[in-house]
């Protein structure tokens, strides 16, 4: 049974071309067992008719704040109290701006302003990619995130204007899945998770560094999913451009040493440690104090030394959490992953191919999960979907007796 069964979902539609997908969204929500009511902005009615949404939702559609008949039936206060969740799809840049400053100049913004605290407010942005990246939109998004809204998407792809970029609305099937997750029972309620993500940078001189292609997307997806499942997540992150996942507390680091220090500072009370960061294995022995200048030689030698293995260090702690490592491989995936599982004394290792169109930077990935007595293959999917599937495997493998494990070496 879907977690949306019996839930009351208020779908807000603002004026973007992606509004044409909302009848399918309504149908999918109802198929999942939800009751759906629809509120449209005036601009939305230029893209799709209220009659279509009335037919698909089987409920009257609300479009006006100052409508005597509607207010006598179900007005903005009743609508906001009726809903378990409000999903605004598409959420235009204008709608996000109006929500961010707290305007109440139409029915949709007004009811969002008087939502009870228990009601989830979710936005599925859809706009031209330049608008999505504009400073004003980024600031509005961040303001809304700090107020606890849930952001679904946008995704990257071809846009209605003919350009390609980040700004497409998530597909209805993904929006329903994202909404479902918010209603899933909190599997890890109150449990402390420590997750590393992103690359590290090892300085060569003040302007150059050694690093890798990690974007942080996989680790951030795991942090977002763990947080949605009720965990108290600390995310230790190398340099990325990603927003902090809802509910997670983030510690920014740059080098492998900084990541190690941050991890060791907070690992003590953790139930689960997931090392998804692509940590440098080597760093320059010395960092030049000034920018290194070209000299006459055709070649130069950079002397490197090993960084400390954070994962092995945590795994070797006398009192340690459930330890999950990653293995990024370009050959012999299973053999190398199993070597890491045993060699570093891990509870679980998550292997992925890197170097092609999966692993680093991509929105999708595919994982092979190994532990002492078993394994599970998670085929290609979005990093968020994989994060949920991985966390389910972890939940099934976690020792029942609370936090952290006591390991005697």
Active site residues: 161
361 binds ligand PMT (CB under 6 A): yes
What string marks each residue from 134 to 173 as x (binds ligand PMT by CB under 6 A) or -?
Answer: ----------------------------------------
Looking at 234, 307, 368, 382, which residue binds ligand PMT (CB under 6 A)? 307
Looking at 359, 368, 382, 390, which residue binds ligand PMT (CB under 6 A)? 359
Distance CA 175, CA 11 (A): 11
Smaller CB separation from ligand PMT, 19 or 263: 263
Smaller CB separation from ligand PMT, 128 or 362: 362
What string marks each residue from 191 to 230 as x (binds ligand PMT by CB under 6 A) or -?
Answer: -----x-----------------xxxxxx-----------
325 binds ligand PMT (CB under 6 A): yes
Looking at 19, 70, 169, 354, which residue binds ligand PMT (CB under 6 A)? 354
Smaller CB separation from ligand PMT, 61 or 314: 314
19 binds ligand PMT (CB under 6 A): no
235 binds ligand PMT (CB under 6 A): no
**Inter-residue contact 409 to 318 (CB < 8 Å):** yes
Smaller CB separation from ligand PMT, 83 or 327: 327
Distance CA 270, CA 249 (A): 14
Distance CA 404, CA 297 (A): 54
Q: CA–CA distance from 104 to each of 36, 98, 99, 125, 259 (Å)?
A: 22, 8, 8, 19, 44
Looking at 310, 348, 378, 387, which residue binds ligand PMT (CB under 6 A)? 310
Smallest distance from ligand PMT to CB 52, Å: 39
Structure tokens at 12: 């807000």
62 binds ligand PMT (CB under 6 A): no
279 binds ligand PMT (CB under 6 A): yes
327 binds ligand PMT (CB under 6 A): yes
278 binds ligand PMT (CB under 6 A): yes
Q: Which stretch binds ligand PMT (CB under 6 A): 52-60, 177-185, 202-210, 308-316?
A: 308-316
Looking at 277, 323, 387, 393, which residue binds ligand PMT (CB under 6 A)? 277
Smallest distance from ligand PMT to CB 119, Å: 32
Smallest distance from ligand PMT to CB 247, Å: 20
276 binds ligand PMT (CB under 6 A): yes
352 binds ligand PMT (CB under 6 A): yes
3-state secondary structure the chain: CCCCCCCEEEEEECCCHHHHHHHHHHHHHHHCCCEEEEEECCHHHHCCCHHHHHHHHCCCEECCCCCHHHHHHHCHHHHHHHCCEEEEEEECHHHHHHHHHCCCCCHHHHHHHCCCCCCEEEEEECCCHHHHHCHHHHHHHHHHHHCCCEECCCEEEECCCCCEEEEECCCHHHHHHHHHHHHCCCCCCCCEEEEEECECCEEEECCEEECCCCCCHHHHHHHHHHHHCCCEEEEEECCCCCCCCCCCEEEECCCHHHHHHHHHHHHHHCCEEEECCECCCEEECCCCCCCCCCCCCCCCCCCEEECCCHHHHHHCCCEECEEEEEEEECCCHHHHHHHHHHHCCCCEEEEEECCCCCCCCCCEEEEEEEECCEEEEEEEEEHHHHHHHHHHHHHHHCCCCCCCEECCC
83 binds ligand PMT (CB under 6 A): no
Smallest distance from ligand PMT to CB 371, Å: 15
321 binds ligand PMT (CB under 6 A): no
Residue ranges binding ligand PMT (CB under 6 A): 196, 214-219, 256, 275-279, 281, 307, 309-311, 325-328, 340, 352, 354, 359-361
């Amino acid at each position: 049974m879907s977690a949306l069964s019996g839930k009351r979902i208020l779908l807000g539609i603002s004026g973007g071309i992606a509004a044409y997908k909302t009848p399918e969204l309504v149908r999918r929500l109802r198929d999942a067992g939800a009751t759906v009511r629809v509120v449209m902005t005036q601009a939305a009615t230029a893209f799709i008719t209220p009659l279509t949404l009335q037919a698909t939702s089987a409920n009257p559609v609300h479009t006006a704040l100052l409508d005597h008949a509607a207010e006598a039936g179900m007005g903005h206060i009743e609508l906001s109290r009726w809903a378990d969740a409000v999903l605004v799809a598409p959420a235009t840049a204008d709608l996000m701006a109006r929500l961010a400053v707290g305007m109440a100049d139409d029915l949709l913004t007004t009811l969002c302003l008087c939502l009870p605290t228990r009601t989830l407010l979710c936005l599925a942005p859809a706009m031209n990619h330049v608008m999505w990246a504009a400073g004003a939109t980024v600031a509005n998004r961040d303001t809304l995130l700090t107020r606890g809204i849930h952001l679904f998407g946008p995704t990257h792809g071809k846009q209605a204007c003919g350009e390609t970029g980040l700004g497409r609305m998530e597909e209805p099937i993904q929006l329903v899945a994202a909404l479902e997750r918010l209603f899933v029972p909190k599997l890890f309620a109150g449990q402390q998770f420590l997750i590393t993500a992103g690359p590290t940078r090892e300085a060569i001189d003040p302007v150059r560094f050694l690093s890798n292609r990690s974007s942080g997307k996989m680790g951030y997806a795991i942090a977002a999913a763990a947080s949605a499942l009720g965990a108290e997540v600390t995310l230790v992150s190398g340099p990325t451009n990603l927003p902090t996942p809802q509910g997670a507390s983030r510690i920014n680091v740059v080098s492998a040493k900084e990541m190690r220090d941050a991890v060791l500072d907070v690992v003590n009370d953790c139930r689960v440690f997931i090392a998804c960061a692509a940590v440098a294995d080597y760093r320059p022995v010395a960092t030049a104090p000034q920018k290194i200048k070209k000299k006459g030689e055709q070649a130069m030698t950079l002397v490197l030394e090993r960084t400390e293995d954070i994962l092995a260090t945590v795994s070797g702690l006398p009192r340690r959490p459930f330890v999950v490592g990653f293995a990024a491989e370009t050959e012999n995936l299973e053999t190398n992953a199993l070597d890491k599982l045993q060699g570093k004394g891990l509870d679980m290792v998550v292997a992925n191919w890197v170097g092609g169109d999966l692993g680093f930077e991509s929105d999708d990935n595919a994982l092979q999960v190994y532990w002492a007595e078993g394994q599970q293959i998670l085929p290609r999917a979005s990093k968020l979907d994989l994060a949920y599937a991985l966390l389910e495997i972890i939940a099934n493998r976690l020792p029942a007796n609370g936090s952290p494990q006591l390991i005697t070496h």
